């Protein structure tokens, strides 16, 4: 446990450098199995997280049958597959080629159009998508608020007018930030300033518990006992405290 904590601390202290490179994500995809290849090392926690993330996407997107949806920073393709199962026509990209290799292997029957690309320089056709989803990529891919605005403009152009952009990202200014240092309210303000109307915001994944439950090989029963308590605290706490690690933000492109 102590070794794991030291390893986590070492990575956190160099996180801007490590997390923004494909090598880290290729290595993670190569060395971890199942959900841990693009999520945390605790599979039981990942199950809870995935259920909540998919619920946020499903509520924000509504019926997606026949819709063209882009999954940005798709990792091993779990969100892409979920949307394809719901009837969407999904294209997806990630800059980690190993993750894309796994996504292709695991998505056999789904006919998802995967490619290797970075969100910083990918070229997207104007008004080519009904919806765009992003889970945990922009706070790694963007170093500054200017980078974030650059990506927002690109995604805005790639959406049909009225199309939805649904993000689930760990927006933080302080200790919990990944690469991008941006609070939830700053992120929302930039999204609104760049041609979107925000229609849903949700605090997700109570962060104090997230830190504890991702330190080591936590037995499933511990996660199952503690997780509901953490979520109850999150639901009862004032939103302004920002106790969610991830922030779900759903926006609609203004014409």
Ligand X SMILES: C[S@@+](CC[C@H](N)C(=O)[O-])C[C@H]1O[C@@H](n2cnc3c(N)ncnc32)[C@H](O)[C@@H]1O
In the complex with ligand X, the residue whose CB is nearer, 94 or 245, is 94
61 interacts with ligand X by CB under 6 A: no
Could you write out the three-class secondary structure of 3-67? HHHHHHHHHHHCHHHHHCCHHHHHHHHHHCCHHHHCCCCCHHHHHHHHHHHHHHHHHHHCCCCCC
The one among 41, 84, 99, 251 contacting ligand X by CB under 6 A: 99
118 interacts with ligand X by CB under 6 A: yes
102 interacts with ligand X by CB under 6 A: no
Beta bridge partners of 169: 247
164/199 Cα distance (integer angstroms): 10
Joined together, the tokens standing for residue 116 give 């290797």
131 interacts with ligand X by CB under 6 A: no
Residues 17-56 that bind ligand X (CB under 6 A): 25, 38-39
- For 148-216, give the DSSP string: HHHHHHHHHHHEEEEEEEEEEE---SSTT--S----HHHHHHHHHHTTEEEEEEEEEEEHHHHHHHTSS
94 interacts with ligand X by CB under 6 A: yes
170 interacts with ligand X by CB under 6 A: no
3-state secondary structure (DSSP) of residue 144: coil
Binding mask 73-92 for ligand X (x = CB under 6 A): xxx--xx-------------
The one among 60, 88, 112, 137 contacting ligand X by CB under 6 A: 137
Please state the closest distance from residue 191 (CB atom) to ligand X, in A.
18
In the complex with ligand X, the residue whose CB is nearer, 37 or 251, is 37
Please state the closest distance from residue 250 (CB atom) to ligand X, in A.
16
Interface with ligand X (CB under 6 A)? 25, 38-39, 73-75, 78-79, 94-96, 99, 118-120, 135-137, 140-141
């Amino acid at each position: 446990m102590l070794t794991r904590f030291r390893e986590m601390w070492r990575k956190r202290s160099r996180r801007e450098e490590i997390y923004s490179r494909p090598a880290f994500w290729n290595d993670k995809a190569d060395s971890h199995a199942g959900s841990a290849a693009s999520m945390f090392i605790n599979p039981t926690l990942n199950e809870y997280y995935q259920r909540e993330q998919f619920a946020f996407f499903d509520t924000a997107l509504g019926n997606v049958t026949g819709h063209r949806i882009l999954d940005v920073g798709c990792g091993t393709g779990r969100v892409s597959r979920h949307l394809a199962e719901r009837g969407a026509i999904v294209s997806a990209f990630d800059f980690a080629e190993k993750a894309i290799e796994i996504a292709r292997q695991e998505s056999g029957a789904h006919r998802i159009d995967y490619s290797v690309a970075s969100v910083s320089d990918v070229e997207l056709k104007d008004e080519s998508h009904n919806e765009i989803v992003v889970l945990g990529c922009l706070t790694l891919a963007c170093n500054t608020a200017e980078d974030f605005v650059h990506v927002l403009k690109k995604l805005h152009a790639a959406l049909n007018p009225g199309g939805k952009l649904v993000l689930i990202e760990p927006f933080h200014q302080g200790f919990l930030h990944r690469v991008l240092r941006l609070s939830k309210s700053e992120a929302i303000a930039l999204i609104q300033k760049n041609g979107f109307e925000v229609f849903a915001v949700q605090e997700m994944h109570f962060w104090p518990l997230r830190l504890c439950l991702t330190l080591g090989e936590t037995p499933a029963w511990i996660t199952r006992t503690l997780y509901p308590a953490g979520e109850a605290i999150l639901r009862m706490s004032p939103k302004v405290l920002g106790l969610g690690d991830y922030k779900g933000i759903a926006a609609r492109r203004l014409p």
